[in-house]
Structure 1
Amino acid sequence: MFNLSCPLAKPVLVLEDDPNVQIRIEKLLYAFGYLKKDILFAQSVITAKQYSQQHNVQLALVDLGLPDGNGIEFINYLRLEQHKTNIPVMVISAWNTTEMIYQALSAGATGYVLKERDDLEIMFALRSILTGGAIIDPSIAKEILNKFVGVETHPNPLKNKTALSNRETEILKLIASGLSSKEISLQLAIAKYTVDVHIKNIYQKLEVNSRTKAINVAQNCGLLK
């Protein structure tokens, strides 16, 4: 494993409402040398704001889809209202739409990494942030580059909202067959939270908020053959 030795920004505020993802992030932070007392967990935007008022937060790891709003609201709060312009803020999210990525970066996010990445990749991203760097998930950096140069390197015949990855298409077909997230995770031999991340991405791309709607849209688009 790569060298984890780097300056630790304390305390860390983790804005994440999924308990399983909280546990995962906590373990990754422990690997860097953080202690339990160094980590503040918030499951909502309002709680995150309260913690940032009570503690001198030096690093924020932020999800976007939250029960009471969007993590971008919290990033704006840190940067504009608390004037914390220098602390690193890394988005760890299942959302990979270009619009959402631009909004997060424009609000002041230092980095953006997808939850579907394995632990080593997230740790690499975290180390880059802690050592003063900025990191963008490789799968979305290409989209950003294409946006800036105004050229689509690999045009997709499908509209953006239906451009599902092979894994997302596979999971969508299993959803259509009636399998639950747990059953899909067992069949594909991947963690349930990974399945849930893919399902969130599917919802985002198909612009739906339920399995039934996702199946209907996919059928209309010819994705379920």
Structure 2
Amino acid sequence: MDETECITEGRYGGTMPPIRVLLVDDHEMVLHGVSAMLSRFPDRVQVIGTASEPAGAVRAVTDDRPDIVLCDVRLRRASGLDVCRAIREVDAGAKVVFLTVYDDEQYLYQALRAGAAGYLLKRVDAHELVRHLENVSLGEVVIDPSLAGRIATSAAHLQKGEFWPGARLGLTQRESEVLALLVGGLSNKAIAARLVVSDDTVKTHVRGLYRKLGVRDRGGAVATALREGLFH
């Protein structure tokens, strides 16, 4: 018996059907590549369909009820985070796992807030990916090991009181991130793309930080940030 068979029997006792997976990505090569990768484990996982845009993903979830949706965090004309929320609106029990190249802790935090069951990087190998999918199917939340280590380090820093810039002025961590990008000269649309959120979400954060800083416009916010030495 090889290693793959051992894992299958250890987790399922040889009685559970393959995990049914829907793939969501706007790159056809990625869809084909991941499908081919998972096809090596027909007894453990089955790709039941693919989608390249949000409406198709939601429709497939409604029609086919996959066990897991494997989705990129950024799509060509949409945020994978919004897709995750939309999927969970039509199926509250849906398990969405992000498979992406973006190894940024903030994307991970946003994914978990959106209700994701996992966040993995595309460099994961086939055996690891299948094992993670099995863990998710058992109710676990999976995080790429490289990101998990950085999150632990960040948590340790917060325990020591090393908060984000602007915390003393009442800004949330996300408001501080938005303010830093304002200082960098980015437009609201560019900020939305950078943070993988909607334009309306950025506008809400901007209004919040304006109120907390006691300013009325972008120039006032930037001036206050520089005056207070929030960013160097």
Superposition TM-score tier, normalisation by shorter sequence: 0.5 to 0.7
Shift of 1:104: 0.5
CA contact (8 A) 2:85 2:115 kept: yes
| TM-score normalised over the length of structure 1 | 0.58
- Please say if 1:120 is aligned against 2:131: no
Runs of 5+ consecutive residues of structure 1 not aligned to the other structure = 153-203, 205-225
Instruction: For 1:161-180, list aligned pairs within 5 A.
Output: none
| Residue ranges of structure 2 left out of the alignment (5+ in a row) | 160-193, 195-232
Deviation at 1:74, TM superposition (A): 1.2
**What is the distance in 2 between the residues matched to 1:138 and 1:62?**
18
> Could you tell me how far apart the structure 2 residues matched to 1:125 and 1:95 are?
18
Matches within 5 A, 1:54-203: 54-79=63-88, 81-85=89-93, 87-150=94-157
Query: 1 CA distance for matches of 2:139 and 2:45?
Result: 23
The structure 1 residue matched to 2:57, chosen from 36, 43, 48, is 48
Q: Percent identity of the aligned residues? A: 25
**1:18 correspondence with 2:17:** no
Shift of 1:41: 0.2
Deviations 1:40-71 (A, max 9, x none): 10011121122223222321111112112111
Instruction: With the length of structure 2 as denominator, give the TM-score of the two structures.
Output: 0.57
Cα distance between partner residues in 2 of 1:89 and 1:134: 10
Query: How has the CA–CA distance of structure 1 residues 35 and 128 changed in structure 2, closer, same or farther, with 3 Å as cutoff?
Result: closer
The code of the aligned residue for 1:82 comes to: V
Report the CA distance between 1:114 and its aligned residue. Answer: 0.2
CA contact (8 A) 2:98 2:116 kept: yes
Residue 60 of structure 1 aligns to a residue whose secondary structure is strand
SS at match of 1:31: coil
User: How many residues get paired?
Assistant: 155
Cα-to-partner distance string for 1:171-208 (whole Å, 9 max, x where unaligned): xxxxxxxxxxxxxxxxxxxxxxxxxxxxxxxxx7xxxx
Q: Deviations over 1:64-117 (max 9, x none)?
A: 1211211111111122x21423x3221111111111111011111111110022
